[in-house]
Amino acid sequence: MIQETLAIIKPDGVARGLIGEVIRRIESHGLKVKAMKMVHLSKKEAEGFYAVHRERPFFGSLTSFMSEGPVVLMILSGENAIQAWRDLMGATDPAKSAPGTIRREFGLSIERNTTHGSDAPETAAFETSYFFSGMEACN
């Protein structure tokens, strides 16, 4: 099934010059970039994006991190894109993610883990429309 998912290169990845490396991995695994932009989120915009985590103890720290510098936002498309992109990223905690995954190779901590990916079709729909209008996605 062809799906779309939201990918983010988080501030730690952009700051360390990993934009090209992350996109190279995405494209070499057959996922297509359908939309892309670089933005510096405000704290409020980061809070809106991560609203499902509002009650978690790390919410304040996470949203400060996500608004500390620019991020790259992308809509990815491909066969089972949601799981395919999560497989490329690896587990949330870099210390527990599989060798060869982005988070294992580049993640600095469970919070500063370099990339984001949607976790289900409903969250992918919310997250892609949170950042992109229909006009911004290419076919």
Q: Which residues bind ligand IDP (CB under 6 A)?
A: 53, 58, 62, 92, 110-111, 113, 116, 119
For residue 59, the one-letter residue type is F
- Give least dist CB 117 to Mg ion, A: 8
> In this complex, which beta carbon is closest to ligand IDP, that of residue 125 or of residue 136?
125
- Report which of 131, 136, 139 is spatially closest to residue 39, judged by C-alpha positions: 131
Q: Considering only residues 73-132, where is the footprint of Mg ion by CB under 5 A?
A: 119
- The catalytic position among 29, 40, 53, 116 is 116
Annotation says 29 is catalytic: no
50 vs 65: CA distance, rounded Å? 12
- Give least dist CB 21 to Mg ion, A: 22
- Report which of 46, 92, 93 is spatially closest to residue 66, judged by C-alpha positions: 46
- Give least dist CB 45 to ligand IDP, A: 15
> In this complex, which beta carbon is closest to Mg ion, that of residue 105 or of residue 119?
119
- Report which of 118, 120, 84, 80 is spatially closest to residue 101, judged by C-alpha positions: 84
| 58 interface partner picked from Mg ion, ligand IDP, none, CB below 5 to 8 A per type | ligand IDP
> In this complex, which beta carbon is closest to Mg ion, that of residue 25 or of residue 116?
116
Q: At a CB cut-off of 8 Å and minimum separation 6, what does 80 contact?
A: 1, 3
| 113 interface partner picked from ligand IDP, Mg ion, none, CB below 5 to 8 A per type | ligand IDP
For the chain, the 3-state helix, strand and coil shares in percent, each to the nearest 5, are: 45, 20, 35
Q: Which sequence positions are flagged as catalytic?
A: 116
